[in-house]
Amino acid sequence: MTSTWVRDHNGIPALFLDDEITAPITAYVGPRFVRSFVEAGIRLYTFTVPGVWWIGPDRYNFDDIDAFLVDYVAQIPGCYFMPRIYLAYQGFPWWGDVHPDEMNVLRDGETGDVRDQLVSDPEVVHYLGHEVHLENMNLHSFHSLVWRAEAAKAVSALVAHCEAAPYADQIWGWHLCDGLFQEWFHWNEYAFGGLADYSPAAQADFRRWLRRTYQNDAGQLMRAWGREVDFNTVTIPDPQERAHPTHGEFYDPQFDRPTIDYMQCFSETTVDSIIAICRAVKLALPKPKATCVFYGYQFSDMPRPQLNAHYALSRLLASPDVDCIASPHAYSNRGLGGYHAPQAVADAIRRAGKLHFDEIDCKTLWTPASVTWKRHISQPTTLSDTIELLKKDAAYQLSSATAQWWMDLTNEGWFDAPEVVEPLRRLKGIEERLCSVPRHVFGEIALIVSQRAMMFQAPKAGLHNVTQLIFRNWHLGRIGAPFEQLLLEDLERIDLPPYKLYIMANAFYLSAEQRAVVERVVKRNGATVLWIYAPGFLDDHSASLANMEALTGIRFGLEDVEAELNVSITDFDHPITRGLPPGYAYGTGIDRDQYLRPPKIEYLPDTHISPAFFADDLEARVLGVAQSTQRPGLVIKDMGAWRSVYSAAPLLSWQLMRNIARDAGVHIYAEHGDMLWGNNAFLAIYAYTPGVRTLRFPRPVTVIDAYEGGVLGTRVETITLSLKQWETQLLLIE
């Protein structure tokens, strides 16, 4: 019987099928449209298995599952299939009738009254382009131990049945899904004006979580919360409390601690549910096979991202029951002319020994015009544009040493054309070639994001987007140098290289232990550290400027104003600002139209943010002034063993970021603002505008055209390319 594992190969996690390394290039496609992929030599397939099979307590009907899998594997002879099992429809409606106290409860944010979850909010269409339909779903509480046990038992029965069937040898893994959109999102992310979960199951679980977190010591709990409280009577904070943080964007570490704690519990209990389901699958398998889940969407396109329960990724990465973690690439600034990077923190997943699957649900020439999904995404209308888009979308996976599946999202033949066969075959061949060489250097820049800091932020998108998603997709991706995207916890890894530039994207909260790690790992070797907006403002006891100074070495001030966070450059004689035009400014309110031009943002959040911070340090060199305070907003300070750069405004432009990177000693491959991905063995460039490009390498290399074949240069430090707009060049580096 077929077995699969994810294990180390050349220093990175790789998929092994019966002890043979297998290029993790996959197709999510219905059985009617597999032809192009089969002809292209794609061996791995996946698709959502239809049907309701959990029909009562300990009652299952697997007839539809069997019929689907028998038909599917017959279409892919010699290939392998991973069933995607979506649990949301399983157990409806009988499970909720049997267990009413285990069902999710939504309450109104203003009145606190219980709301009907099936009533769609009229704002939803603005964000998604469609309604959210929760009808016919088992809207269980993710806090429910009862659901966890019974769903695990049901999944065990399903897996045991399928693994005993004749088609079992063609199953290469199991993809387990639940929650909104199959992605383990909470049911009520798009229930604007409402908050969850206020079920009895949630209340009981929160008390269990508090006992574990505070070592069952009521004294610890009371000191953390700053009030008289005990484990037996504590309740989940009311919606009104959760909706109004004390410090503008931020919850106070003590006064708002109940909300912060429940937000953390909210994410961790979702991960506990995921692990319970995956463990049940592992125990039901007669031979090892890979398990996969969606999770860890740090760079999400969501209006209230803090509520999607995806902020306990480190907990999931520590579980041996989960092998693969998937996410779509971000829905903003994608398509023709757009960037490509996943919503999850894929480099952190790779460094933890898991395989990240990049879900490439890109529209193609063959996507029907009737598809209304994500209409803001620019869709190719010619074959050549489609091929260049496929190459660009593959570039991230090839450069990050991760995995991918091409997705026919609506099952309407998005890839069902003979013209796509050769491009898919070539892209798979590049990955097979790269599998044989070590990919171990992924950039000299680390973009560090904190999941824990998200728990200290109000449930809205503005600050989150400008420090992470928009910043990465419009600006960092164009600086001409590759960068790794890592969790704050990754700084503790012994295999982490000494980066030349650390970008602390959202380090607004840091514990005492995290501050010690930053001190030990980051502030050395002449590194440059870029701090954004409110670095270290919060710890476990206070919100203070002293916290920020201790972290960054820079003195600060703040004004209680709500405004766009913009900085005007005032000193053009420093390497960081040299070459920028007179009057240059950057920030959340600068050139907002760029985010609305195709390929555009899914929705542009309100970025009026409070409070406004500024540098107040006579020893720091002032390079720019914050527009809202007329105080220093971009400064640099030499700290001896390292350099501290502070920006009061997020959304540092790609030109400014390129200068900061170059000044930090980072090698810049390209200067023109094109999108670039790479590692020590592979480099990709996507031309933002047409023209001649010079690529510079840090050492003499042999450069091969990975897609067309042929040597472009032997032992060279530069090559010149003539590129059309939105043309992708894929290069092997030896």
pLDDT at site 717: 98
pLDDT at site 205: 98
Contacts with 643 (C-beta within 8 Å, 6 or more apart), sequence order: 526, 527, 528, 529, 636, 637, 664
pLDDT at site 129: 78
Per-residue pLDDT band at 459 (split at 50, 70, 90)? very high
Tell me, yes or no, whether 586 lies in a domain: yes
For residues 45-55, average pLDDT: 97
Closest CA to 296 of 470, 449, 441: 449
* Token couple for 609: 């943010």
Closest CA to 26 of 356, 349, 280: 356
Asked whether the beta carbons of 679 and 442 are under 8 A apart, the reply is: yes
Tell me, yes or no, whether 292 lies in a domain: no
3-state secondary structure of 387: helix
Domain range spanning residue 590? Answer: 445-663
Tell me, yes or no, whether 460 lies in a domain: yes
pLDDT tens column, 57-67: 999 999 999 99
In this structure, the number of other CB atoms found within 10 A of the CB of residue 552 comes to 26
pLDDT at site 297: 98
For residues 265-275, average pLDDT: 98
Per-residue pLDDT band at 334 (split at 50, 70, 90)? very high
Per-residue pLDDT band at 492 (split at 50, 70, 90)? very high
For residues 361-375, average pLDDT: 92
Q: Whole-model pTM?
A: 0.97
The tally of CA atoms less than 13 A away on the side-chain side of residue 189 is 27
pLDDT tens column, 545-555: 999 999 999 99
3-state secondary structure of 449: strand
pLDDT at site 391: 98
239 sits in which H/E element: helix 239-242
Asked whether the beta carbons of 406 and 415 are under 8 A apart, the reply is: yes
Residue of higher predicted confidence among 269 and 375: 269
| Integer Rg of the chain from CA | 25
Per-residue pLDDT band at 130 (split at 50, 70, 90)? confident
Per-residue pLDDT band at 41 (split at 50, 70, 90)? very high
Per-residue pLDDT band at 121 (split at 50, 70, 90)? confident
Tell me, yes or no, whether 35 lies in a domain: no
Q: Tell me: pLDDT of 638 over 90.
A: yes
pLDDT at site 586: 98
Number of domains comprising the chain: 1
* Token couple for 332: 């903003």
Rounded to whole angstroms, the Cα distance separating 433 from 59 reads 48
Phi, psi of 236 (to 5 degrees): -65, 135
For residue 153, give the amino acid letter. K
Work out the mean pLDDT of the chain and round it to a whole number: 97
pLDDT tens column, 664-720: 999 999 999 999 999 999 999 999 999 999 999 999 999 999 999 999 999 999 999
pLDDT at site 372: 86
391 sits in which H/E element: helix 383-400
Per-residue pLDDT band at 399 (split at 50, 70, 90)? very high
pLDDT at site 223: 96
The tally of CA atoms less than 13 A away on the side-chain side of residue 374 is 22
For residues 351-372, average pLDDT: 95
For residues 274-278, average pLDDT: 98
Contacts with 220 (C-beta within 8 Å, 6 or more apart), sequence order: 214
Residue of higher predicted confidence among 374 and 83: 83
Rounded to whole angstroms, the Cα distance separating 592 from 601 reads 10
pLDDT at site 211: 98
Contacts with 320 (C-beta within 8 Å, 6 or more apart), sequence order: none
pLDDT at site 22: 97
Closest CA to 20 of 47, 2, 40: 2
Percent of the chain with pLDDT over 90: 96
Strand partners, 566: 587
The tally of CA atoms less than 13 A away on the side-chain side of residue 434 is 35
Phi, psi of 60 (to 5 degrees): -135, 150
Asked whether the beta carbons of 240 and 111 are under 8 A apart, the reply is: no
Q: Tell me: pLDDT of 658 over 90.
A: yes
**Residue 389 per-residue DSSP state:** H
502: CATH: 3.40.50.880
Tell me, yes or no, whether 197 lies in a domain: no
Closest CA to 423 of 383, 472, 462, 457: 383
For residues 197-219, average pLDDT: 98
Strand partners, 453: none
Asked whether the beta carbons of 140 and 95 are under 8 A apart, the reply is: yes
Contacts with 190 (C-beta within 8 Å, 6 or more apart), sequence order: 121, 124, 127, 128, 132, 180, 303
Angle between helices 218-225 and 257-284 in degrees, nearest 10: 130
Rounded to whole angstroms, the Cα distance separating 427 from 397 reads 11
For residues 396-410, average pLDDT: 97
pLDDT at site 123: 86
Tell me, yes or no, whether 54 lies in a domain: no
For residues 243-265, average pLDDT: 96
Residues 467-471: contacts with CB under 8 Å, at least 24 apart? 467/505, 467/506, 467/532, 467/533, 467/650, 468/298, 468/299, 468/505, 468/506, 469/299, 469/300, 469/301, 469/330, 469/332, 470/332, 470/595, 470/601, 470/651, 471/505, 471/650, 471/651, 471/652
Q: Tell me: pLDDT of 127 over 90.
A: no
Give the strand pairing for 25-28 and 44-48. parallel
Q: Tell me: pLDDT of 499 over 90.
A: yes
Closest CA to 275 of 296, 291, 251, 263: 291
For residues 234-261, average pLDDT: 96
pLDDT at site 200: 98
Tell me, yes or no, whether 129 lies in a domain: no
| End-to-end CA separation in angstroms for the chain | 38
Rounded to whole angstroms, the Cα distance separating 185 from 116 reads 18
pLDDT at site 141: 98
Tell me, yes or no, whether 500 lies in a domain: yes
